[in-house]
Structure 1
Amino acid sequence: MEQIIRVLVVDDEERFRDNLVRILNGKDMQAQGAEDGEHALVLTDDNEFDVILLDMKMPGMSGKETLRHMMHNNIDAEVIVLTGHASVSGALDMMELGAFDYLLKPASVSELLKKVRLAGEKKFLREGRIGMRDILSEES
């Protein structure tokens, strides 16, 4: 895929967030971080993202509240929920709200990159920036 995936990493753990942003930027993506839900909402008002990696458990506005606000504001991004608390039922609740998928922390870098690329492809297909042929030619 030649499209650059724009990613927002929303996580209150600074070290995790900064490392993830660095890794994504090193994989030909454009990534930036937000330390909480409030900051994420400000960033999504001013910038367009293809994929949002959203931590479920944060001080202040939770991931669930943040996702609700994003959906209410018609943020057009695929959301991947990150949870370190093995709350699969909570993550499934987030998917019912419109999240693309979820990952349990700590996820492997390869698994995380795979999910981000799949979410990015879904957004690009929806917007008509790529077609199924583009995806199928990458897989062969």
Structure 2
Amino acid sequence: MKPIRLLIIDDEADSGEILSMRLNRRGMETHYASSGEKGLTFLQTTPVDIVLLDVKMPGMDGLEVLAHIAALYKQMGVIIISGHADMDSAARGLELGASHYLLKPVNFEVLLHKIEDTYTQKQLAGQDSAC
């Protein structure tokens, strides 16, 4: 079975890199982008299954990035991971197509479960559209 391919988009490099290392140890292929713009540029050339996306970032915020992903990459899963509890951004993120909205600091086991759930749902959706 091929590893789940993830892109972490977060302006906090330390937390993004630590999360990337932990997910790599679990057999996932991870990549990191320090801004929404860099993440969208990366997606133009490298396919991923799921994006782990921060909301509050300088420049293009996570909800803007999510809107672009939803328009361009219909089968890509997105999980929002935010350090700011904001019901409006959570509701907006889910409306735009995010699978889950988690708050930092994230329980790693919960995150793994949400990644697997999102991956499975996207795989099933892809099979349904192929029929």
Q: Same fold (TM over 0.5)?
A: yes
Report the RMSD for the aligned CA atoms in angstroms. 1.2
Is 6-15 or 114-123 further displaced after alignment?
Answer: 114-123
1:80-99 mapped onto 2 (5 Å cutoff):
80-99=79-98
Aligned length: 127
**Map of 2:50 onto structure 1:** 51
In 1, the alpha carbon distance for the partners of 2:2 and 2:88 equals 33
Structure 1: gaps spanning 5 or more residues: 129-140
Amino acid at match of 2:122: K
Q: 1:3 to 1:88 in 2, by over 3 A?
A: farther
The reply to whether residue 18 of structure 1 matches residue 17 of structure 2 is yes
Amino acid at match of 1:41: L
Q: 1:43 to 1:75 in 2, by over 3 A?
A: farther
Q: Deviations over 1:22-77 (max 9, x none)?
A: 11111011011110100110111111111110000001100011111112223531
Moved over 4 A (4+): none
**Map of 1:123 onto structure 2:** 122
The alignment partner of 1:53 has SS state of: strand
In 2, the alpha carbon distance for the partners of 1:121 and 1:28 equals 16
TM-score where L is the length of structure 2: 0.91
* Contact map agreement 1:37 1:61 (CA 8 A) in 2: yes
TM-score where L is the length of structure 1: 0.85
In 1, the alpha carbon distance for the partners of 2:23 and 2:122 equals 17
- Give the share of equivalent positions with the same residue, in percent: 37
Amino acid at match of 1:23: R
The reply to whether residue 64 of structure 1 matches residue 63 of structure 2 is yes
Structure 2: gaps spanning 5 or more residues: none
Amino acid at match of 1:35: S
Amino acid at match of 2:99: F
